[in-house]
Chains A and B, each alone.
Chain A
């Protein structure tokens, strides 16, 4: 009977919490890279006047959701059913629905 069970459990919890601590410190240490990435992205956006993230390239209204007109999400008629998988992940933007 070497280590008590409760000690092992407490150690387990401590390990998990230190994992979180490690993640936090690791993220901090990557600050330089993070900032570089962000500034590259921002520069691109500003230079080209971009308005959307390139997340979904399967459908036009998913590639540029903020630019989408009323028509394309509904294809050719208003009750057309969504058939792009990425459409299930993101709703049509608010400014479209409110107009």
Chain B
């Protein structure tokens, strides 16, 4: 009880002491919260996105076979299917027919796809929620597509894909094969790429090798590659995220520096007075500990709470312009809440420890001063 009271007492004084310089400390806390908020927002959103991606992409194809000509993605002739489906270990081979379509009226890019089973009826399309939003289209609307031959093809919206799957389907336009070939100009006898399923995943390297020999102008992309792409997406080591991290670290260093650069004469005098009226060195250090902790812990907690609300309740509203970039079509989805405890702990240590330590260290010397010196103040 004694120890708790001692902490509470000293905490009382620390809070009174901090409230004396209300403006300075409020500004400090606000900026601190802002930095933590920014960093935590990035942390939460990237972690949650990565986790969801890796979770759902487990259902992606085992192998995608892509044909490359002059280093570029090239169409595959149908004959390749026969070549590959006989490779031992290959269970099924399916052709994929898909491509991009640029809509000049709104400046948006769509992904056109031809599902095989069930196929989309000729003259109709099934569109993703993002497409519907961008074009303000509803079921039954007729949408014009400019074909490769210069003519326009009008297709009726048969259905709109549920917004639940927007993360993967937002920009999709599913159509009939005939309509697709007319619009994109992909000739009969060719398709975009192949997907394979294999009997035993462990045999993948062998199968890939065989395919490489049978069709040397193709390259396989395995599910692992797909998953790893999304594990490393939003990597700390690249681009904007590195800049944000560097900025945040700089901010924390500046905060700590300001504290560590020493005490003002007023602070020194106060410590002397405390020693003079009976405080021990350890009491003074304890007070300084609380001083650092109050500021940094409050900022950390509030920053994280706001970040959580920002990312998981407000759907990263502030990041939207950055994530959207130049895209016109942007998927609307609510991230599934997830916080990586390790990264949160790292953030905690980065936020709270340096600042608290920086508050204590310079006071150490002043705290060990002979109380007698206060008589000469």
Contact = CB atoms under 8 A, between A and B. Distances in A.
When A and B assemble into the complex, do they touch directly, with CB atoms less than 8 Å apart? yes
Given A4-B8, A12-B298, A37 B336 contact: yes
B362 interface: no
B133 to A, nearest CB: 12
A95 B108 CA distance: 28
B11 A66 contact: no
Nearest to A26: B337
Interface residues of B, number: 86
Interface residues of A, number: 61
B12 A85 contact: no
A67 interface: yes
Q: Main secondary structure on chain A at its contact with chain B?
A: helix
B162 A40 contact: yes
Interface in B173-189: 174
Contacts of B336: 27, 34, 37-38
B89 interface: no
A71 B337 contact: no
B240 interface: yes
Interface stretch (B221-229, B270-278, B280-288): B221-229
A44 B168 contact: yes
Interface in B247-299: 294, 297-298
Contact of A46 (B59, B113, B228): B59
22 contacts: A6-B8, A27-B336, A37-B336, A38-B52, A38-B56, A40-B164, A44-B165, A44-B168, A44-B169, A48-B174, A49-B195, A54-B128, A54-B172, A55-B323, A58-B109, A60-B100, A66-B221, A66-B225, A85-B326, A90-B233, A90-B234, A99-B219
